[in-house]
Amino acid sequence: MKKLLLLSALLIFACKHNENTPSKELKFNPDIELISAKASCGICMFDMEGDKCELAVDVKGDKYYVSGAHIDSFGDAHSENGFCNAILDADIQGTIINNQFHLTYFKSN
């Protein structure tokens, strides 16, 4: 029973630890266009439909939820300057697939 509890605790810790990091390493690619965008919480700051706070980008007035990074990947989204309270300028790279921005690079300015 103790082993089961320990295993459960370790799994919970591992899930929480990975929750705030990008799902893959985001790297700048000089061969792909660098896009100037606004980044923030889709629900809190961009008035997008959704069930929870998620990272979104505004590219030339078109808003997309992001895959490839979590809203807390770049700091606490609910802090004073976090994505749920601020809209940040960002340089991004990636592609739009099925109305979602698949992020390969992100740098806030």
pLDDT tens figures, 81-104: 999 999 999 999 999 999 999 999
Rounded Cα gap, residues 20 and 69, in angstroms: 8
Q: What is the pLDDT of residue 70?
A: 95
pLDDT, tens digit, 9 for 90 and up, residues 55-64 = 999 999 999 9
Q: What is the pLDDT of residue 24?
A: 64
Give this prediction's pTM.
Answer: 0.77
Question: Which residue range forms the structural domain that includes residue 49?
Answer: 2-108
Q: What is the pLDDT of residue 38?
A: 98
- Residue, of 2 and 81, whose pLDDT is higher: 81
Average pLDDT over residues 33-50: 97
Nearest C-alpha neighbor of 106 from the set 81, 76, 71, 78:
71
**CB neighbourhood size of 27 (10 A):** 8
Task: Please count the structural domains in the chain.
Answer: 1
- Residue, of 36 and 9, whose pLDDT is higher: 36
Backbone angles phi, psi at 4, to 5 degrees: -65, -45
Coil, strand or helix at 73: coil
Percent of the chain past pLDDT 70, that is, above it, reads: 78
Q: What is the pLDDT of residue 25?
A: 86
Tokens of 16: 């929480």
